[in-house]
Amino acid sequence: MCGIAGIYNHNNNSDIVGVLNKMNTAMSHRGPDDQGTYTDEMVGLAHRRLAIIDLSAAGHQPMRSHDGDLEVVFNGEIYNFREIKKELTDSTFVSESDTEVILEAYKKWGVKCVEKFNGMFALAIWNKKDQSLFIARDRLGIKPLYYARVNNSLVFASEIRSLLASGMVSATINHTALTDYFTYQTVHAPNTLLKDVFMLLPGHYMKAENNSVTVHEYWNLIGNSSNKAATQSYEDVCEEIRTLFYNSIKRRLISDVPFGAFLSGGIDSSAVVGYMSKILDSPVKTFHISFDESEFSEALYAKIISKKFGTEHHEFRLTPNDFLQKLPDALQALDHPSGDGPNSWLVSRITRENGITMALSGLGGDELFAGYPIFNHSMLLNQMSFLWKIPVKYRLMLAHLLAKGKPGMNSNKLEALAKLPSCKLIDTIPLSRQLINRHNVSKLLSGKIEIDSLKAMIVDGYESGLDKLPALSQISYSEISGYMQNILLRDTDQMSMASALEVRVPFLDHTLVEYVMGIKDSMKKPVTPKKLFTDSMKGLLPDEVVYRKKMGFTFPWAQWLRNELRPFCEERIYSLANRDFMNKDVLISRWKAFCEGGNTVRWPEIWIAVVLEEWMMRNNVQN
């Protein structure tokens, strides 16, 4: 796990080494173990190393091929590199690193080498012979890769702050992405909050040669979904999932440094720990953050799993004030703002401080095995599709009656649902993920409201054959391509790497994902929490964990924003309000309404504005 950066066609910059060193320094937290650069008249490459596999100097990057033709910088892990090495019978290897295998695989298979890789990666290979640069990102977008075209040059890096450090990329806000940010508390790739800075999409590679840059797709979630389960019995499907999941975890235990696992006490992290304990000869080191003795504490369930599997358990009990004191450091770690992230930063920092360099996570289980409420809600709406045949005014009346009958229901969301033109995913998924509805976003921003990027992504999916997948898998596609890749994975990377901690995600092994995406709804339907997955685990998990209520980190955010964090927030709200893209009166009015204690404005709607301005101030981002 590392950080990479580079410049293609640097125009013989006399200080190219100095520029690369600045880019490297900006992401030094990603790789405290080693650093390196490579330059020639056309390209410059930079690397920061967090040594995980082959800790010797033989793993130094940029790494050169034995014939001298190739140079590579690589961030991530190729879990099946030893299997690939056996196919490279004509190659000679001098290290035990997966980086060397990448070079030899590229020599043999060219751009198709990425189809061989099982892992998480962002990599760049410079071919001196044909003067071409190959840049690729893993199938599911676990590792990030940002880039910008500057005149005839291409500059790329693992983090935006590294691009800015080059001095080649302008720190200018991307006005067209602001609609996305305020609606969904993130910006969906390939766009970012910086003008002319993009993310290479998951499952894509980029080729730069002859002063031109082209982008190609080598894998996508729809086209690579397997139909193997179509002819299998439920028992056979469970067995297949069990085998794929077990193998995924086993692959991710290759490490030459101390490692452990995040253990929340939920189904996903518990299953990861359960199989780790079966594979390893020594106790698994597990890490759990607990905050109080309230009904929201998950510490009890983590202890149940720890006791069952005999783990070396580390529970860190923090008060809300402990977290509050660490919040400035968490915000500083943000490379690209989002409405989430501090929780990931906290557990990563504590895990790293306790001598762990790599940890496994249960991220991805909810998206893959229908663990979110949206899966059941969407199936219910589909059964009620007849309601969209009646006039909208009657649907609105029904929504108001439901809201009155069940006070806990979000009346605004119900009303918005009733107004939708249909109950299809292209309409319901974007609504379910909205933080602020588009009407209020249009009031907040002074410019025009851009297209709904999440909806556009789903529309593109249907144009690529999404409707051929089972209904629950269509929702999985939307959740994986939207929320997971653009919030969960991005935050996990930037917040864990801020502490030089590598996080591996066994639920996102592409062989497992491809198989599960093809399973029919009748088997995957979540009658009980992630029933198909828990059935597949065949008694691995105790009932107390399987049937527990889903929880998560709980902090008194509303109280903090109105009290302890009020001066901090107010300064940034008023600063943001003076930006030319904001409607000053509306933002300040919403802030005051929130401070008065009403429920018309929720704390996340305020927090994303605070985070945006904090990020712009730290990075000197201009309007």
Residues designated as active site: 2
- Which residues, 6+ apart, have CB-to-CB distance to 415 below 8 Å? 396, 399, 400, 403
In the three-class reduction of DSSP (H, G, I as helix; E, B as strand; rest coil), residue 39 is classed as strand
Q: Cα(300)–Cα(109) distance, rounded to whole angstroms?
A: 50
Cis peptide leading into 190, omega within 30 of 0?
Answer: yes
Residue 604: helix, strand or coil by DSSP? helix
Strand partners, 260: 359
Query: CB–CB of 8/154 below 8 Å?
Result: yes
Q: How far is Cα 160 from Cα 21, in angstroms, rounded to an integer?
A: 15
Question: Nearest to residue 412, comparing CAs of 392, 432, 426, 393?
Answer: 432
Separation of alpha carbons 396 and 5, rounded Å: 52
Half-sphere exposure of 443 (CA within 13 A, CB side): 10
Is residue 356 packed enough to be buried (19+ CB in 10 Å), middle (13-18) or exposed (0-12)? buried
Distance separating alpha carbons of residues 28 and 422, to the nearest angstrom:
49
Instruction: Tell me the Cα Rg of the chain.
Output: 24
Q: Report the distance separating Cα 368 and Cα 370, nearest Å.
A: 6
